[in-house]
Amino acid sequence: MSRTIRTFEATIPNQQQVRDDLDQLGWAASKLWNVGRYYAQEQWDETGEIPDDGELKAELKGHERYTDLHSQSSQRVLEELAEAFNGWFGKRRNGDDRARPPGYRKNGDSHPRSTVSFKAAGFKHDAQFTRVRLSKGRNLKEHRSDFILCEYQTRPGVDLTEWDIQQVRAVYKRDEWRLQFVCRTTIDPEPPGDGVAGVDLGICNFAAVSFGGESVLYPGGALKEDEYYFSKKKAKCDDSSSREATRLDRKRTGRRTHFLHALSKATVKECVERGVGTLVVGDLGGIREDDENGESRNWGDHGNLDLHGWAFDRFTTLLDYKAEAEGIDVELVSERDTSKSCSACGHTDDTQRVERGLYVCEKCDTVANADVNGAENIRQKVLPSLATDGGDRDNGWLAQPAVHLFDRSEGVFAPREQL
């Protein structure tokens, strides 16, 4: 038995009735963020340390901006602020000198509408009439009703009564408010089989998947095109925090997220069809770390931009929960030497990757797609290859993987010949 968490987004049919109240909460969340950001800056200037979320909550609990929101909603704002500072510290530790600490939430002279989170005590779900009641803070209750009653409509096929709703978030997107339901349930799916597949993550091919006997490549061309396009468009903005720059960032993030969802879904689907019960993924946790000489790794101008923009961790997270729902275990393993070793005979040589995309073994004459060879080596870290037992297993599939491309018009991956 295992627990799984999903987030379902819903529109609000009675938008006009609740918009003003949700605006008040969204602005209050931005103001509280700014109060916390100012306090954190003061502490940094005085002590050289950033306060954690516990100190922020204790210090600001009596502030009027804190009591604009339900207490749990205010706590979540300050938790997010602390998480943003931790993320900044982490990037700096990993050598990203361009990383900037979280800023203030301002849009000219006004505040943007921030996301407002409601935990168990801050909302009440009415499944019969598909609506949810969201609590206000004490300050706002004095002027309006005590709560906001939002109707909601999820996509077809989603039944929230089958889930335990942990949290509700009010999110302002594309000039309207929406609701996100963070839900949990317990599942115990049977694995599709006992097969093992390996996944190698990279730049030109975002993912190469080896099933041992056949392989699939998922090029990242569509994602790279988006990254370059939006980077150039944003560079033309006079102010990186302008409305246009913010719009471009949101659109880029949305398209990237959809790409990663589509890719993880396609990968899991292929695993289910082939009876895979274990999915082994190369761990890219150290991809931005220093090299053996203590200097920042240089992957070339294009490589550095790609690695900075691509969310490998995000993809692994999506892959993990989609695989879990199908009963497939996901394991992370080190990628050390997987690009240098021959997956057919095990011989290791730094010179065998003769060019990008091609791997030739000087010992056994195996010719392979370099990414597929890496994926097969990753697979073998959990399940040793049968090719090392002296057999004559055909390994032509290493050089001739199937290629699945991202279809922008449909938003899915499909075999190249279909497109």
pLDDT per residue as tens digits for the range 49-69: 889 999 999 999 999 999 999
Bigger pLDDT: 391 or 285?
285
Q: Which of 135, 156, 187 is the last residue of a domain?
A: 187
For residue 75, the model assigns a pLDDT of: 96
Per-residue pLDDT at 6 = 86
Q: Select from 136, 161, 187 the last residue of a domain.
A: 187
| 106, 231: one domain | no
Instruction: Work out the angle at residue 189's Cα, subtended by the Cα atoms of residues 187 and 192, and round it to the nearest 5 degrees.
Output: 155
Owning domain of residue 390? 195-415
Structure-derived torsion over alpha carbons of residues 170, 172, 173, 176, reported in degrees to the nearest 10:
100
pLDDT for the residue numbered 383 = 77
For the ranges 82-91, 224-233, 350-359, which has the lowest average pLDDT? 350-359
Q: Which residue has the higher pLDDT, 2 or 218?
A: 218
Q: What's the number of domains the chain is made of?
A: 2
142 — pLDDT class (breaks 50, 70, 90): low
**Segments of 262-410 assigned E as strands:** 276-283, 329-334, 358-360, 367-369, 402-407
Please report, for residues 137, 153, 248, 293, the alpha-carbon distance to residue 133 in angstroms, rounded to integers and kept in the order given.
13, 14, 33, 58
Residue range 258-286: mean pLDDT, rounded: 91
Reported as a pLDDT band with limits 50, 70 and 90, residue 372 is very high
Cα of first residue to Cα of last residue in the chain, in angstroms, is 40
pLDDT in tens, 95-116: 877 788 899 998 767 789 999 9
Q: Is the pLDDT of residue 351 over 80?
A: no
Question: Are 150 and 223 within one domain?
Answer: no
Whether 140 and 221 share a structural domain: no
Domain end (from 145, 166, 187): 187
Q: Hey, what amino acid is at 199?
A: V
Q: What angle do CA 192, 198, 202 make, to 5 degrees?
A: 135
According to DSSP, the β-strands at 205-210 and 147-151 are unpaired
Same domain, 125 and 208: no
Neighbouring C-beta atoms of residue 197, cutoff 10 Å? 28
Least confident of 102-106, 114-118, 225-229, 351-355: 351-355
> What pLDDT does residue 144 have?
57
In sequence order, the 6+-apart residues with CB closer than 8 A to the CB of 414 are: 404, 405, 407
Q: What is the mean pLDDT of the chain?
A: 85
Kindly state whether residues 256 and 403 are assigned to the same domain. yes
As to burial, measured by CB atoms within 10 angstroms (0-12 exposed, 13-18 middle, 19+ buried), residue 305 is middle
User: What predicted TM-score, i.e. pTM, was given to this entire model?
Assistant: 0.65
Q: Are residues 388 and 243 in the same domain?
A: yes
- DSSP annotation of 190: P
Tell whether 55 and 106 lie within a shared domain.
yes
Q: Which helix (H) or strand (E) holds 169?
A: strand 164-173
pLDDT of residue 386: 47
Q: Which residues are paired to 210 by β-bridges?
A: 198, 215
The type of residue at 306 is D
Task: Report the DSSP beta bridge partners of residue 5.
Answer: 184
Q: Indicate whether 177 and 251 sit together in one domain.
A: no
Same-domain status, 236 and 339: yes
Average pLDDT in the 16-25 region? Answer: 95
Q: Are residues 265 and 392 in the same domain?
A: yes
Asked whether residue 305 carries a pLDDT value surpassing 50, the answer given is: no
Angle between helix 15-47 and helix 71-93 axes, rounded to 10 deg? 50
Q: Mark whether 143 and 206 lie in a shared domain.
A: no
User: Does the structure show a pLDDT above 50 at 309?
Assistant: no
- CA triplet 64, 69, 73: central angle to 5 degrees? 125
What three-state secondary structure class fits 88?
helix
Task: Give yes or no: residues 257 and 355 share one domain.
Answer: yes
How far apart CA 249 and CA 261 sit, in angstroms, is 18
